[in-house]
Structure 1
Amino acid sequence: MKNVLADNHYPGRGVLWCRTGNGDSLGGYFLTGRSPASKARALHRTPEGALLVAPSEPSAHDHLRHYVAARQSGQWLVFGNGEQVATVADRLDSGELPALALDGLDYEPDPPIFTPRLTVVADGRAGGRAWFGAARHSNGGRTATNRLTLEVSHLEPGEGVLLTTYRSDGHEIATGDPFTEVRITAGNRRGLLDELWDSLPPQLRIAAAVFSPGGLAEADVRQGAPAQS
């Protein structure tokens, strides 16, 4: 994972599902940013145990930058990079299965890059299954959303799947690859947070969190230094 992220000069936001060396199936979420507005954010715990991306200082709500990033919905852990997390969680609460709950989402209306909506639904029961959903803009001129769903199961310790909103060579920024299989060296949850945090560009780090299905209220969260105004 560290090599994959080191080759990406601006990953944006990312979702990770993996299995650490001790056999735990864990999710991870991170934010990086370049602009002052992007950096003026933090991960907050809500009284209900969810994780909320919100301003680090008082400001108006921006639906593209402020959202529920992770929420437990019965047996399902849902996390991602936008307001669609709440939509998917509500659908699961109503009885929809993960693949259907991830359907019908759209990419963010932020031209010219049209940021993908990335969402993970992880099963809290034994087996460590997870479904990744990505709502992406066409690489051409077509405006209709490309919706990709990936089911991941039977990960071995040290294996993971990573999605990032962007990829950059340091000059150009494009939408991230549909998904990337990565190797994890961490042996436990705390080690995974260290590995994820250390893999991100230091000058862009905003926040990261690692959590387990059913254990979102005890998520390990790390924040970057507050943005300077």
Structure 2
Amino acid sequence: MEKINLNEYLAANEYPGRGIAVAMAPDGRQMFIGYFIMGRSENSRNRVFDPVPERGGICTMAADPAKLEDPSLIIYNPVLTLGKTHIVTNGDQTDTIYDLMSQGKSFADALRTRTFEPDCPNYTPRISAVVYADGSYQMSILKSADGNGDSVQRYFFDYPQPVAGEGHFISTYKHNGNPIPSFEGEPLRFACPRTIGDFAHDMWSSLNVDNKVSLFARVIDLDTGESGDMIYNKYDSVCSDLDDPEEPELLPEELELLKKLDAEEK
């Protein structure tokens, strides 16, 4: 599969929906994870990412709780950490993976208990990824059979030996539409930039300005297992004191780690 320029791909795609990108940095010492959400309706756009440090992840929250309508498919934990395993998904299957892997089950075992989202006629796919301590990773998509709500198709992709400077991207949708067509084929192979800052900023900047909502990015040091997170939110939370919601939000310890990693690369 030919490598794509992920930023150009996203810039040309009005609505890929929700997307997961996993890559190994060019130096081979770090892994990058990216997850973004987009929205077309007011309910889908009324969201922010919020850190959940006690679980090593984030949750989605209503930017304005008074405007929240149906929370069932939009409020969930996109990212959780189980030991040194990093889990990222576009729905509540994050918790399914976390719970079953905690019991010794596999990534695939967990997802075989789930199906696509019940939002007829789109039947939004469930996309998921796990990144392990050694940098290997797996991805998955659970989708309907060409819009048939009675038939699920489960696809799993295994990357046991990631290549430095490369990654893979998968999204819920192929492009905008009505109904919205599901992503097709293998995860797209893309060239990875040098730093987590470039990885996150370029991806966020490439998303459609009207439809993008939030983006999360994580850098993992493969030598130490330490990680640092970045969050971009288009819409400020009602209870937030951020001066600019489009600036990346980092916890103090995460900022220190990112400074350390950037210094080592120079």
Percent identity, aligned pairs only, is 25
Which one has a bigger Cα radius of gyration? 2
Q: Map Cα deviations across residues 144-192 of structure 1 (whole Å, 9 max, x no partner).
A: 2111111113222321111111122677731112433232342111111
Distance 1:26 1:149, change over 3 A: same
Match for residue 20 of structure 1?
25
Identify the residue that residue 229 of structure 2 maps to in structure 1.
Answer: 219
Q: Could you say which residue in structure 1 is the equivalent of 2:119?
A: 110
Partners of 1:142 and 1:46 in 2: how far apart? Answer: 34
**Higher helix content, 1 or 2:** 2
Please give the secondary structure, in 1, of the residue aligned with 2:9. Answer: helix
Distance 1:185 1:140 in 2: 33
Asked if structure 2 preserves the Cα contact closer than 8 Å seen for 1:20 and 1:192, the reply is no
TM-score (norm 1): 0.89
Q: CA deviation at 1:47?
A: 4.2
Structure 1: which 4+ aligned runs deviate by more than 6 Å? none
Alpha-carbon shift at residue 105 of structure 1 (Å):
1.4
TM-score by length of 2: 0.77
The alignment partner of 1:144 has SS state of strand
Partner of 1:53: 60
Q: 1:65 to 1:142 in 2, by over 3 A?
A: closer
* Separation in structure 2 between the aligned mates of residue 56 and residue 64 of structure 1, nearest angstrom: 15
Measure how far apart 1:9 and its partner are: 1.7
Specify the alignment match of 2:189 in structure 1.
182
Aligned counterpart for 1:78 among listed residues 82, 87, 96: 87
How many equivalent residue pairs? 225
What are the within-5 Å matches in structure 2 for residues 46-195 of structure 1? 46-48=52-54, 49-59=56-66, 62-124=71-133, 126=134, 128-139=135-146, 141=148, 143-168=150-175, 173-195=180-202
Alpha-carbon distance between aligned partners in 2 of 1:173 and 1:6, rounded to the nearest angstrom? 18
Aligned amino acid, residue 108 of structure 1 = E
Distance 1:185 1:129 in 2: 16
The change in CA–CA distance for 1:183 and 1:88 in structure 2 (over 3 A counts) is: same
Root-mean-square deviation (Å) = 2.2
Letter of the aligned partner of 1:223 in structure 2? N
CA contact (8 A) 1:159 1:181 kept: no
Give yes or no for contact 2:16–2:171 (8 Å, CA) kept in 1: yes
